[in-house]
């Protein structure tokens, strides 16, 4: 469907001329001969932009502009003014007009101005959506746990949050790195500003560069309009770069420059832009080893590792398991408006014995699954045993030998079991286990090379 543009002028000839130009450019013009009609058409058709004459009887362009902005303060309004009436146009700009165009004007000039107006509105909506999606970050996420390592971590986060330095959060997949990042932001002086995040492993190199730095219109095939990147949109706030180890050497060099000089260029532009963004990076890999393997720049590592935070795997803080399980069951109950369920003692013993290769995220998934699929209020050991790959009888047998088996073997068995449950669907398997699809793929590839799993997996 063609984009609607409202054209307002008291002269029929001008309305027809402007409307014809817009129609040839692929727009759908809607015409009005006076202000009252324009307001009614705006409410009915919700145009993407408005172009109006300034001098009209009864309601002039300035009054119409004011009333349009009362209806929609993001609606871009372009005013048409006669040659020599620049002062009136400037007044309109001060009152909220997007731009002005002097009569007589060329059709290309008109179309270009309207396209810029529409793009401006898109950017406003994008910023608003991003802000809305991150409003919850002003409230600190819950860090659940009373173990010594969690108490130390909470104290460390409070200290780091007050700084403006770059933060590097490391830990296995599913340990809660994003929760910690949002907690740092929520306790920082930037908590009232936006926090954006980007998964560096989810995009190709070209798309990732555009997402980070933005691009100019025509910078590459498919770049039909200007796009602001995450650095530009997060100016004054915080940018979370998840799985930072996955970016290419070329992008590593560009990211290094941003961290060093607080400047960048959009793709396809030579104009440097200054930004004030706090960067928080996360990784589930050993970046120091990546530096030794020449897959990650040493200078970038040092720039990122200013304020390091390491999250322990869940198996190293077993004493937090009952609190975490209760927290997740309570969260789900509040979300669904019902009474929270609980694990019986045998089920909790089973939970404590399981090594949790997917860490906190896997525990959260198991809690939700058990809560949904259990009919009563009490979740028993047999109910969760199939998902943990261990026997429900805790007095002996396989479960008694659980601590004597290699963690890697247990992890492989759990991943293969989950993969089988989802009929080989890696995306759903990764989500259930609380790990990334890329991480799952790398593990399977490694095990295939070692002939530990079938090649068909």
pLDDT value at position 138?
43
pLDDT value at position 421?
73
What is the three-class DSSP state of 228? coil
pLDDT value at position 57?
84
Burial 24-45 (b: 16+ CB within 10 A, else e): ebebebbbbbebeebbebbeee
Residues of the chain short of pLDDT 70, as ranges, are: 1, 83-86, 123-142, 389-408, 434
Q: Which residue has 């706090």 as its token pair?
A: 278
What is the three-class DSSP state of 372? helix
pTM of the entire structure? 0.59
- Dihedrals φ, ψ of 266, to 5°? -65, 155
Report yes or no: 255 and 300 within 8 Å, Cβ to Cβ: yes
pLDDT value at position 127?
56
Alpha helices in 60-106 (DSSP H): 61-71, 86-94
Domains and CATH numbers, the chain: 4-131 (3.40.50.2300), 145-312 (3.40.50.300), 316-403 (1.10.8.60), 406-457 (1.10.10)
Other Cβ atoms within 10 Å of 136 Cβ, number: 11
DSSP letter for 351, please.
H
**CA 26 to chain CA centroid, nearest Å:** 33
- Concatenated DSSP letters of 130-164: HHHHTGGGGSPPP----SHHHHHHHHHHHHHHTS-
How far apart CA 435 and CA 226 sit, in angstroms, is 34
DSSP letter for 103, please.
E
Report yes or no: 198 and 240 within 8 Å, Cβ to Cβ: yes
**Spatial CA neighbour of 327 closest among 106, 176, 156:** 176
How far apart CA 198 and CA 211 sit, in angstroms, is 8
pLDDT value at position 207?
84
How far apart CA 272 and CA 438 sit, in angstroms, is 34
- Dihedrals φ, ψ of 157, to 5°? -65, -40
The number of helices, as runs of H, and strands, as runs of E, in the chain is 20, 14
What is the three-class DSSP state of 324? helix
What is the three-class DSSP state of 65? helix
Q: Which residue has 């004030």 as its token pair?
A: 276
- How far are the Cα atoms of 4, 6, 31, 40, 50 from residue 44, in angstroms, in the given order? 11, 11, 13, 6, 14
């Amino acid at each position: 469907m063609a984009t609607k543009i409202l054209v307002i002028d008291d002269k029929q000839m001008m309305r027809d001329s402007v409307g014809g130009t817009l129609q040839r450019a692929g727009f759908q013009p809607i015409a009005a001969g006076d202000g009252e009609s324009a307001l009614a058409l705006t409410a009915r058709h919700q145009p993407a932009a408005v172009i109006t004459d300034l001098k009209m009887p009864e309601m002039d362009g300035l009054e119409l502009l004011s009333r349009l902005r009362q209806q929609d303060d993001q609606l871009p309004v372009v005013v048409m003014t006669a040659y020599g009436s620049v002062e009136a146009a400037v007044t309109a700009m001060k009152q909220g007009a997007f731009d002005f165009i002097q009569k007589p004007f060329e059709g290309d000039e008109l179309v270009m101005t309207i396209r810029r107006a529409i793009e401006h509105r898109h950017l406003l909506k994008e910023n608003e959506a991003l802000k809305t999606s991150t409003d919850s970050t002003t409230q600190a996420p819950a860090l659940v746990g009373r173990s010594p390592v969690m108490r130390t971590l909470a104290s460390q986060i409070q200290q780091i949050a007050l700084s403006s330095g770059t933060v590097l959060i490391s830990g296995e997949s599913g340990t809660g790195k994003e929760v910690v990042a949002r907690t740092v932001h929520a306790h920082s002086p930037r908590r009232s500003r936006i926090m954006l995040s980007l998964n560096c492993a989810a995009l190709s190199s070209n798309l990732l560069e555009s997402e980070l730095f933005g691009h100019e219109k025509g910078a590459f095939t498919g770049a039909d309009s200007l796009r602001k990147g995450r650095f530009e949109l997060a100016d004054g706030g915080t940018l979370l770069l998840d799985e930072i180890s996955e970016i290419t050497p070329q992008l590593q060099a560009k990211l290094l420059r941003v961290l060093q000089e607080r400047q960048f260029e959009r793709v396809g532009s030579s104009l440097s832009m200054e930004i004030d963004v706090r960067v928080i990076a996360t990784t589930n890999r050993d970046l120091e080893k990546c530096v030794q393997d020449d897959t990650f720049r040493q200078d970038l590592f040092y720039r990122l590792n200013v304020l390091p935070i390491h999250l322990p795997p869940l198996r190293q803080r077993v004493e937090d398991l009952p609190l975490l399980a209760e927290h997740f069951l309570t969260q789900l109950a509040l979300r669904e408006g019902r009474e929270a369920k609980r694990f019986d003692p045998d089920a909790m013993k089973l939970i404590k014995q399981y090594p949790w290769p997917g860490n906190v995220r896997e525990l959260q998934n198991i809690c939700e699954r058990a809560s949904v699929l259990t009919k009563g209020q009490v979740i028993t050991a047999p109910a969760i045993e199939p998902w943990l790959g261990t026997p429900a009888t805790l007095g002996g047998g396989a479960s008694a030998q659980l601590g004597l088996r290699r963690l890697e073997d247990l992890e492989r068995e759990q991943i293969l079991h989950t993969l089988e449950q989802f009929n080989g669907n890696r995306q759903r398997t990764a989500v259930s286990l609380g790990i990334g699809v890329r991480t799952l793929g790398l593990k399977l590839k490694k095990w295939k090379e070692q002939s530990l799993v079938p090649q068909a997996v």
